[in-house]
Copies of this chain bind each other. A is one copy, B any other.
Amino acid sequence: MVEKRMLQVLVLDEARQLLLNMAGKRAVSTERAAIDNLCGRVLAKDMRSTEDLPQFDRSAVDGFAVVSRDTFGASAAQPTLLCLSGEVKMGERAQFSINTGVCALVWTGGELPQGADAMTMLEETQPLAGNLIAVESAAAPGRHIVFRGDDVRAGDLILPAGTRLCARDIGLLAALGIPETEVAARPQIGILSTGDELIPPGQTPTGGQIRDANGPMLLAACAEAGADVVHLGIVPDDEEKLLTAMKEACTNCGLLLLSGSSSAGAKDAAARCLTKLGEVAFHGLALKPGKPAFAGQIGGTLVVGLPGHPAAAYLVFHALVRPLIAAMSGERFVQHTVTATLAQAAPSNHGREELLPVRLDGGFAEPVALKSGLISPLTRADGYIRIHRDTEGLAKGTLQEVILF
């Protein structure tokens, strides 16, 4: 009853690589999505343009298309007089060409008529009687013109596979006439909270019970990562019930997250169930917090067991599971970091890598104390510093890389 099983722990980077390799062996399923539904989706294939953008030489200003050499030497004192031959209406072809001595009115974005090689802005001209325009400044060839293909050329790689599409990307796809495209299907994730002591957040605990914080928290964290995620409820520390719940969960998801019940000792029921139903990839991390984490697979479903303490669960989720979710949809994933000055010393002398939550304030990183099992401090943190397992800690005033939440 009171024996302690000793874990063979893995370091964080190895554990992550192991999971990424497991995910990499699975095919990413894809689906087509219309442009109004592309925000946050991951491109399934390299996206190349099939056409030039812009598709015609166009004006970058409101003004007159001119033959540039007509304007050389022009000034307010000695303007060049040009005959206005017509107007290029927005959205229409330039139906005429111009030649020396002649100009044409073109609005911003309008097509340059044949023969013109520069634009003179409206405010550099004066209209005179008899359809004459006085041009008061010289225009070098090419001035205020966006040439066909200046933005994108046919064949250009515009967005590589794995791009998580944001508003700016979507603008470019629209401009290039790509009204729908192939994206990775959203990863399907199931969450099981385990523990005899857990009750749903809406219930009032009686002695010894605590509310399930990890279920709603991980649900939100997976949704933030772009996954389709379901909270499958709370399962007690009962091996039979856990086996049933895990088997059922695996029929419907590509990733199963378990939280709680993973500390070595009497309660590592979830890890034992994983051994019975599939294969364990690792059990235990050389990480603080996060030692009781484990992972493996059951058939086609990846399984990750997170610590029961919410702060530990969230940190391990961020460091280990977030990159895994990205890999499940082929996302080119980068953890965002900033460099900040450590505001106070952070001793860390326990032979395990430590994830130290910090609050950023004006270029300083202030460690946030994470006494075992507390959850409120994490809401005040902006990210965390990785402290190497072989250091005795970090000195106050040193520059540190902070991984942002």
Contacts and interface: CB of A to CB of B under 8 A. Distances in A.
Interface stretch (A14-22, A90-98, A348-356, A386-394): A90-98
Contacts of A144: 372
Closest 7 pairs (CB-CB, A-B): A93-B207, A171-B217, A91-B197, A60-B372, A179-B202, A167-B221, A167-B220
Contacts of A308: 108-109
Contacts of A240: none
A107 B267 contact: yes
A150 B309 CA distance: 14
A177 B211 contact: yes
A168 interface: yes
Interface string A57-95: 010111000000000000000000000000111111110
Interface stretch (A23-31, A35-43, A243-251, A273-281): A35-43
Interface residues of A, number: 109
A213 B172 contact: yes
B170 A216 contact: yes
A56 interface: yes
Contact of A217 (B60, B174, B363): B174
A177 B204 contact: yes
Interface of A: 1-4, 35-36, 38-40, 53-56, 58, 60-62, 87-94, 105, 107-111, 122-123, 125, 127, 133, 144, 146, 150-152, 158-159, 165-179, 195-198, 200-221, 223-224, 231, 237, 263, 265-267, 308-310, 314, 338-339, 363, 371-376, 378-379, 381, 405
A220 B146 contact: no
Contacts of A208: 56, 88-94, 110-111
B371 A55 contact: no
A90 B168 contact: no
Contact of A379 (B2, B91, B158, B339): B158
